[in-house]
Structures are given as C-alpha cells and as structure tokens.
Structure 1
C-alpha cells in the first residue's frame, strides 16, 4: 500500500500556456500528415557504471556483459526502426517521438547522431528523473515541424506505507509547442512497473494516472479545446483501472465530457498488443488524445493509429515466434531490438 501525494498544476501550466502563446508563427505550412510515435527502447544504457545509479548490470563487468560492441549494435537497430516509423504514409521518421528506458542524455545524443537518422535533424528534450535504475523518458522532435515553447517535468510522489520512504520513479514530461501554427501539448510517461505483482503494484500506477489526469485537467481548465497527446509505457492495459477510470482514456463509443480518446484500447480489444507475456498480448504502450483532435473543424486532426510490428522486430521461429525480438531475455543476450513494439498515430 502507498501513501499518495497529489498536486494540481493550474498555476504552473498557466505560465506555460502564457509563454507558449507569445508566438503564433507557423513553422510548417505543408499539408503533409504529422507522424507522432512512442518507443520503449528496452534499456538503452551506456557502458559506464555511474555513481548513485543501479546500472552495474549494464557494464562489461556486469551480469549482462554489456559492452561497446553490443551498445553500437543496439544503436544501429533503434535508429533503423525510428527512421522507418513513418513508412505507412511515406515519411522518414516521426516528427515527434517519445522514448522511455533511456539512461541519460548522452545515449540519446548518440542515437540522434547515428547515420541512419542524423539527416532527420532531431532535437532532444530530456530531464533526469530520480528513478533508482537511472532510466528516464525523453522526447525527440523535428524543429521544422514542432516549435517547442515550454518544457516541464512533473515528478510523481508516492511513498511506501511501511517505512514512509519515497518510491522514486520516472517524472512525467510535458512539452508544449506549435505544430503548423497550432498549440500542441505532449505528455511523455513511463508509469511504475508491475514488479511484485500487478495487484500489489497497482496503487503506484493509479497515482501515476492521477498525476497525468491532473496535467490534462490543468491544460483544459485554461483552454477547454487544448490539443493534448499523452503517450507512454503505462505498464497497464487500456481496460485496467489506472487507464480507463483514473486517466479516463476510453474507446470512441464511450467518450464523455473531457475523456481522452484511446485508439489503442480498440486495437487491444481486437487482440493486438505491444508486448507478450506467457502467450498473452498486453497493450502497455499507448498514445491517447484530447477530443479536440477528433473534431471535424480542428486544424490538427487525428487520422489513424497503428502498432509498428514489422517482421524484423519479431522472433522468427520456435516457442516464442512472433513475440518481440528482445535485446535480452533475463541475462541472456539475444541481440534483438526491444521487448516492446513502437506505437504510432498520424495527425492531419
């Protein structure tokens, strides 16, 4: 059980909106669709043992024998997939891409400098989180499409009821800026894991959902038609209480008032997922949005969504055929991509 500290962010986000409203200059007048994605990179760590961070297993001397050769191969694979995330509409790479399970800014800099995606000109938004393993969330964006105006990291405060100690986890990253002259707010998440079991860890994800919802509510209290995209590895499926009831992200037919639309809830109902455990597909990776992006009169309008699960990302044979092709299974190095598939939405 946890003691949960909640905060409401109207004042802070009001300042964000005010600063964001200074410039209404259109960055891109193109009518091309905008690809927005999210990808859990499965422990993109450097090979250095950093003081105060539990990253020893990802060093040459650690249990995983993580070294520069494996790190370079991981970057090769991640960059290749990022470049092709817009293939379905003929775009090289998403304009906006949320990331999780990245150790620090340095590994992200190595990633965007990779020859496969260097020409896409990604800029980085990253803030160090207090997570004990040192993993953070981040956002990549193309400044020709997304003109960033404000960034704020919202910490999640949860406490162990037994000893009162804070349980350190990832911040929630709010990035606001202009897309084709319209304000868009993007919230990048990596909610607490299911370590210790789904039921025992559930209060932590409910707390994360409450924080996410308070960010959304604050934005909508200032502008009821705010364009909001919330993405991340939520470590819960769309039907779980954290997503459906606390965040209020639901399928289109169930939308009410200020609920968020969750296209990946519909896909999960159809049997799709982004990771698989003991034969069951979970849809932990989701991108949800405010209803303003569904309006027929909206300047920015949601078009479609998909789980990016091309063949190279899959195990090709054996008992785990079609599961995500992972970098590691436990401490065994498989040399794959990630234990999660990326998710993508397209905005017109």
Structure 2
C-alpha cells in the first residue's frame, strides 16, 4: 500500500512540475494573428458606399441581431487564437473586411474580449464597398507610436483609378522592442487571376517602398494580411525577392489544408511574413517560434459536402450564421 501511495504522489508532483514549466514557457510567448472577418458590416446603410446588400432591406437581409451575433462569435474566436501557446489572447490582431469603428467596437464588447485592454488602429479606406483593415492590440503589451495609411494607387484597364483598400501601417513598441506592422487586404482575383495580378504586385511594391523609407538598422517588420495570392504567387515573391523577409506560412498550404477553400481547392491567401530580425535571440527581442492556421472544430462546417471548410456567414445570399469564410492565421513569438 505504501508503494502505491508513494507512486501516486510521485506522479502527482511530476505533473505539477511539468505544468509549471509549460506555464512558464507560455508566459514568455505571445501570438500575433490575422483574420479576414468576411464582410463584417453593421446593419445601417452608408450612403457613400456600396453596402446596400448588408442592410435589413438589402439582398442579404442583414439585421442588427445578425450583426450582434457575429460580433460575439468573432470575439470568441479572437480570444482563443493561439491558446495552446500563450497565457493571453493575441497581442496583435490584424483584421480585414470590417466596415467601420462601430463594427470594431462591437467585437471588443463581446464577453470573450471585454475584460482585456484591447484598442485598435483604423482608418476609413476608399474601397467602394466600404470595407477596411484594422489592427487590434493589447495596450498592456503594445504601444502605438505612429500610424498611417498607404494608398494603393492602381488603375483599371480603362485607365481609371481602381478604388481599393489602403494598406495600414502601424509603428509601435511590443514590450521593449520597436515593431513595424503592415496590415493588408490586396485586390481580389474576381476579374481573373492573371488579369489582376499587376494590382497585387503593385501592392507589394507599395509596402516595399515604405520599408525603404524606414530609418534604423535591424528593423522588426511584420507584413500580414489577406493577399489574395498564395505564397508562391508573383506578388508575394516580390516581397521575398527583396531578401528582407521570411515567410513561415510557406509550408502550411497543402491540397488538404489552407486558410480558405473555393470550389474544393484550398488556398493560403492569409499570411504573416516577418523580417529576418525575428530569427535572433538577443535579450529584449522577440524571436519567431512557429506559424499556424487556427482551425478548431467550431470554425468548420461539421457535415455535408463542405465538411471541414470554414463555417461562413453567407453562401451567396443564403445566411448560414457562421464565423467567416477564412480561418485566422497566427505566429508565435518568444520574448527573450
């Protein structure tokens, strides 16, 4: 009997010691995420944008109730991103396809996030539908030093300006280390992949143009977003050919996984690209640990033809009541 009790006590103390080590490691680790929110509009008509579909009288029959329900779901999702790697929700979350500050505030009011000290950076963009990018951040971990928009100046085949999303640039301090963050939602492929490729290449060149104007050595840069291109596309390669970055998302795309699925094919348009400086381990810096697609069961279709795909809010005009047609992506960094 003595030996049985002794064995149980040994196992018990070993488990406690292991849990303490895991917790200590997680306290030094932080997640940085990106999430396309799939047409997250409020339910009010903005006469200056093409948001009519997302109103109670519009094609989608979008209502205040549906808006609130989606906000709660998005808050829950954001709160859980990277939960296996850190003791807190993401310190930074770039988002796309959000209409305005009202929508951003509604997410932060969600029960899952309301106790955390989140704030955000957001500017209205000239996108015709009125959808923007933004950056949520935990004020206890990240301080905004400067923020601005980078207009994406592109023209259509008739020579007229194609009004699309600006690129959001935020200069801040993550703990004691300065950080330059670019949040992107590059032009879509709707008119054809090849036909629109030049627009996304121009977006990459716009980011690189700003990077070239930044002052300092060993700059810490994060370029995140829905690029509407996969890691091997020309636009992403334009970034990579500069020799300044690594793309940890490169290995996450396969025939059976990605961040979005269209007609049975997986894509990884959602990516987080980091500068080489995240490979150092000097004290006071942050080093890259891993990259992941956040795809828990509750974010997936649970049966039928599309089982395993992102559980979206709409398919066409049919309301499904899901989260988004994209999975979030994130990286884990360790504070040295």
Please indicate, yes or no, whether the TM-score normalized by the shorter chain is above 0.5: yes
Taking the aligned partners of 1:270 and 1:92, their CA distance within structure 2 comes to: 32
Q: Which residues in structure 2 correspond to 1:189-208 (within 5 Å)?
A: 189-208=184-203
* CA-based RMSD: 1.6
Question: 1:183 is paired with a residue of what secondary structure?
Answer: strand
User: Which ranges of structure 2 fall in alignment gaps of 5 or more residues?
Assistant: 1-25
Taking the aligned partners of 1:53 and 1:170, their CA distance within structure 2 comes to: 13
| Cα deviation, residue 68, structure 1 | 1.2
Question: 1:210 is paired with a residue of what secondary structure?
Answer: helix
Is 2:113 the counterpart of 1:117? yes
Taking the aligned partners of 1:270 and 1:167, their CA distance within structure 2 comes to: 33
Residue 231 of structure 2, aligned match among 218, 235, 238: 238
Q: Please tell me whether the aligned partners of residues 173 and 187 of structure 1 are also in contact (alpha carbons under 8 angstroms).
A: yes
Task: Name the counterpart of 2:10.
Answer: none
Taking the aligned partners of 1:223 and 1:90, their CA distance within structure 2 comes to: 30
| Cα deviation, residue 270, structure 1 | 7.8
Q: What TM-score do the two structures reach when normalised by structure 1?
A: 0.85
Larger radius of gyration: 2
Task: Name the counterpart of 2:249.
Answer: 264
Taking the aligned partners of 2:171 and 2:45, their CA distance within structure 1 comes to: 34
Q: Please tell me whether the aligned partners of residues 259 and 269 of structure 2 are also in contact (alpha carbons under 8 angstroms).
A: yes
Is 2:270 the counterpart of 1:285? yes
Question: 1:247 is paired with a residue of what secondary structure?
Answer: helix
Question: 2:197 is paired with a residue of what secondary structure?
Answer: helix
Taking the aligned partners of 1:176 and 1:347, their CA distance within structure 2 comes to: 18
Q: Which residues in structure 2 correspond to 1:1-348 (within 5 Å)?
A: 32-162=28-158, 164-219=159-214, 222-244=215-237, 246-248=238-240, 258-268=243-253, 272-297=257-282, 299-348=285-334
Taking the aligned partners of 1:334 and 1:113, their CA distance within structure 2 comes to: 23
Question: 1:89 is paired with a residue of what secondary structure?
Answer: coil
Show CA shifts across 1:122-157 (max 9, x none): 111000000000000000001110011110111000
| Cα deviation, residue 217, structure 1 | 2.7
Runs of 4+ more than 4 Å apart: none
Show CA shifts across 1:311-347 (max 9, x none): 0111111111101110000111011110000001111
| Cα deviation, residue 269, structure 1 | 5.2
| Cα deviation, residue 212, structure 1 | 1.5
Q: Please tell me whether the aligned partners of residues 75 and 114 of structure 1 are also in contact (alpha carbons under 8 angstroms).
A: yes
Show CA shifts across 1:176-233 (max 9, x none): 11112110111100000111111111111111111112222333xx223000011000
Q: Please tell me whether the aligned partners of residues 258 and 290 of structure 1 are also in contact (alpha carbons under 8 angstroms).
A: no
Show CA shifts across 1:242-264 (max 9, x none): 101x1117xxxxxxx73311111
Q: Please tell me whether the aligned partners of residues 30 and 88 of structure 2 are also in contact (alpha carbons under 8 angstroms).
A: no
Taking the aligned partners of 1:82 and 1:150, their CA distance within structure 2 comes to: 24
